């Protein structure tokens, strides 16, 4: 609210001592202010049930830093965590790209099972989506059914290919397998959403204004 002091966090920091280790932590730094209980929960997970994934992710980062594409990193990550069957949760608008991805993954020895967003062919109005939304398609995107289909298939790692904002959230929520994003949906920017941030002070300066 107006007049209240902002709650400062990592995006307000210009020191990066947690990364560079050549300065002092700011007064509001999360590193020095996070509770010991919270830190312990995180470290217990990273040293326990999530250890293999954390180690694999760090190795993939190191080995491919600035050299491997995200697709190549996904392949290496899947291998390191022992994933054999990879699920693809794809937008129908990226089905050709998903076919290419599946071909690449199969060449590299993985079993691939995909579920497209319109799976089930359920009309949008059936769950209360306003009829006006049919202007961009009569049938709903069904990320929960996508997740359940991949769960039933027994996938070891699920790859998100351009699911809509929010649909990706529901897919991750209902997926039994670990998930990672290969493509983030942005119809305007050719699925490169960071371009809007690079140009937020120029071509996309409307982003710096309140969005009603």
Q: What is the pLDDT of residue 4?
A: 72
Q: What is the pLDDT of residue 116?
A: 98
pLDDT for residue 172 is more than 60: yes
Number of Cβ within a 10 Å radius of residue 150: 27
Average pLDDT of the chain, as a whole number: 96
Q: What average pLDDT does the segment 121-126 reach? A: 98
Task: Using alpha carbons, select from 61, 29, 155, 66 the residue that is nearest to residue 102.
Answer: 155
Extract the tokens encoding 190. 């050719």
Crossing angle (nearest 10°) for helices 167-174 and 143-153: 30
Q: What is the pLDDT of residue 212?
A: 87
Distances, alpha carbon 152 to alpha carbons 72, 91, 139, 147, in Å: 27, 19, 23, 9
- The per-residue pLDDT for range 63-106, each reduced to its tens digit, is 999 999 999 999 999 999 999 999 999 999 999 999 999 999 99
How far is the C-alpha of 146 from the C-alpha of 52, rounded, in Å?
26
- The per-residue pLDDT for range 18-55, each reduced to its tens digit, is 999 998 999 999 999 999 999 999 999 999 999 999 99
């Amino acid at each position: 609210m107006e007049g209240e002091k902002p709650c400062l966090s990592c995006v307000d920091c210009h020191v990066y001592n947690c990364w560079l280790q050549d300065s002092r932590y700011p007064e509001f730094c999360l590193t020095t202010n996070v509770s010991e209980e919270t830190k312990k929960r995180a470290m217990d997970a990273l040293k326990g049930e999530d250890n293999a994934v954390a180690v694999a992710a760090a190795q993939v980062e190191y080995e491919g830093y600035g050299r491997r594409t995200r697709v190549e990193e996904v392949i290496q990550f899947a291998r390191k965590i022992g994933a054999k069957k990879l699920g693809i949760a794809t937008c129908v608008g990226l089905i050709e790209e998903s076919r290419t991805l599946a071909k690449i993954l199969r060449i590299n020895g993985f079993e691939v099972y995909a579920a497209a967003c319109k799976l089930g062919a359920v009309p949008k109005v059936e769950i209360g989506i306003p009829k006006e939304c049919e202007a961009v398609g009569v049938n709903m995107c069904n990320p929960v059914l996508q997740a359940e289909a991949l769960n039933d298939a027994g996938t070891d790692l699920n790859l998100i290919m351009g699911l809509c904002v929010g649909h990706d959230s529901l897919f991750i929520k209902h997926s039994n397998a670990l998930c990672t994003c290969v493509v983030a949906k942005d119809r305007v920017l050719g699925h490169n959403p960071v371009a809007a941030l690079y140009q937020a002070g120029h071509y996309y300066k409307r982003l710096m204004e309140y969005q009603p």
